Amino acid sequence: MLELSSNRHNPGIDPALHAWGWEIPVYLFLGGMVAGLLVLGGFHILKGRNDPHAEAYPWAPMLGVVLLSAGMGTLFLDLSHKLYVWRLYLTFQPTSPMSWGAWILLLVYPALLLAALLHPPETVPFGDAVLARAKVWSRWLRMRPRLVQAIGAANLLGGVSLGIYTGILLGSLGARPLWNSAILGPLFLFSGLSTAAAALHLLSMLSKRQVKGQFGDALLGGFFKLLDPKAGGEAMLRADTSFLTIELGIMALWLLGLLTATSVHREAAALLLSGDYAPAFWALVIITGILTPLFIQTAELSGKIRHTAAPAVLVIIGGFALRWILVSAGQTSHW
């Protein structure tokens, strides 16, 4: 009689490796939205649209800076040795997705800040002096068309790189079959574009009001009040509809690729399609985050119903759910 002993059913060893907590899906979501803001802002600059009020654009780069800082904050919280984070910037490893990501995250900051200077908002919470200086720099930049085009290209390239990187970060971890696909890069890019367009659509439905007093008063009072959504944002609505359609197509190709691969890939796909994560995936990602917004936005664009903030909110919920579910399910999938 032959007796075998195995520890592989120990949940601490196999099949699940839960090394990532809530910080990573939050970072992937925020990073994806910032990537979308960079791409949309870069396209806006390259097309020469100089109207500072168009589609809530003045707030897009500033929103990107805030969201990127929050995302990097969650990454910092996830680090085991936080005091050594600076060592990431002492070298560059071309074969390491994390090394690429660390440098991309650092380099998109100046691109966002320069884009913000091109179209400074009418009011800022730091006072008139800061706004006046920003307008001086804005005039200086806009008198140099080649520099403006370079800023637009930097935003566009930085956004595409950041958006694809957030998917490649997972796809490079071949030990997790659910993530083992190069198509995650384009999927996360278009998901980020969709959430960014949704965020800009929300901003376009809000009117900036005069901000007076101290920073705390401005912060608590808020910058916006509701207005007629038809005053702007329809372009973002159309863009978001296109991004959602492409995202749905890429997601179908990704799942089809898993289902036609090895048995472990099919089992990984089953986690989302019929397994433990299926209810959340179908309800939050497919129905709430993609199909319902597509239906509502199509009806809005055709004039059948009035414009509301509902589809934009649903898109943002779906974008966050996609990252949360993929990170959780991916750590459960195994060879």
193-209 burial: b if 16+ Cβ within 10 Å, else e? bbbbbbbbbbbbbbebe
In a domain, 87, yes or no: yes
pLDDT of residue 306: 87
In a domain, 17, yes or no: no
In a domain, 7, yes or no: no
In a domain, 250, yes or no: yes
In a domain, 130, yes or no: yes
- CA neighbours closer than 13 Å in the CB half-sphere of residue 324: 13
pLDDT of residue 18: 56
In a domain, 185, yes or no: yes
pLDDT of residue 136: 81
The whole domain housing 57 covers 23-332
Question: For residue 87, how many other CB atoms are within 10 A of its CB?
Answer: 10
Q: With the C-alpha atoms ordered 157, 160, 161, 162, is the resulting torsion angle positive or negative? A: positive
Domain count, the chain: 1
Give the whole-angstrom CA distance, residue 162 versus residue 166.
6
In a domain, 151, yes or no: yes
pLDDT of residue 222: 35
CATH number of the domain within which 203 lies: 1.20.1630.10
The partner residues of 206 in beta bridges, in order of sequence, read: 226
In a domain, 10, yes or no: no
Q: H helices of 121-171, where?
A: 128-142, 145-171
Render each residue's pLDDT in the chain as its tens digit; 335 residues. Answer: 555 555 555 554 554 555 678 888 999 999 999 999 999 988 888 887 655 444 446 677 888 999 999 998 888 887 777 777 777 777 778 777 777 778 888 889 999 989 888 877 666 555 567 777 777 887 888 888 889 899 999 999 999 999 998 888 887 776 788 888 889 999 999 999 999 999 988 877 764 433 334 433 333 333 333 333 343 467 788 889 999 999 999 999 999 999 998 889 999 999 999 989 999 999 999 999 999 999 999 998 888 888 888 999 999 999 999 999 999 998 887 76
pLDDT of residue 156: 94
Picking from 203, 245, 242, the residue whose alpha carbon sits closest to that of residue 226 is: 203
